[in-house]
Amino acid sequence: MATAGDLAANFQKAADFIRSLPPEGSIQPSQELKLKYYSHYKQATIGKCDMPRPGMLDFTGKAKWDAWNALGDMSKDVAMREYIKIMVASMSENEKTPASEALLKELSEFLKV
């Protein structure tokens, strides 16, 4: 059975992998996918969005805030698990290296537990 420690460790592996993607690399997440990663990461690490919405000229900030705020009262554990699911689903569609293939297999197995 998976523990909270397993969830946090696997979430961190997924987040580290996404963060390590080179800006000009072969894997280029869409803006929509980037917002999903951002919002679920914030929800998992901070919790519910309780910050004021950015000003009307901060388009990027507003998009990020809206995505995070839309998660409402989602628990940190659910946000971690959803982040992993999003990462596995999106990365399964991309070209893989041996390291990314191993990580996807490990995280996919974790999600089955």
Segment 92-110 mean pLDDT: 86
What per-residue confidence (pLDDT) applies to 12? 97
The C-alpha atoms of residue 41 and residue 48 are separated, in whole angstroms, by 11
Whether 24 contacts 32, CB under 8 Å? no
Segment 73-102 mean pLDDT: 91
pTM across the whole model:
0.89
What per-residue confidence (pLDDT) applies to 96? 78
Place of tokens 């998660």: 71
Q: How far is CA 4 from CA 8, 20, 28, 69, in A?
A: 6, 24, 30, 24
Which class is domain 28-112?
mainly alpha
pLDDT tens-place string over residues 22-78: 888 888 899 999 999 999 999 999 999 999 999 999 999 999 999 999 999 999 999
What per-residue confidence (pLDDT) applies to 2? 61
How many C-beta atoms surround the C-beta of residue 38 within 10 A?
Answer: 16
Segment 95-111 mean pLDDT: 87
Is 101 a residue whose pLDDT tops 80?
yes
Domain residue ranges of the chain, discontinuous segments joined by +: 28-112
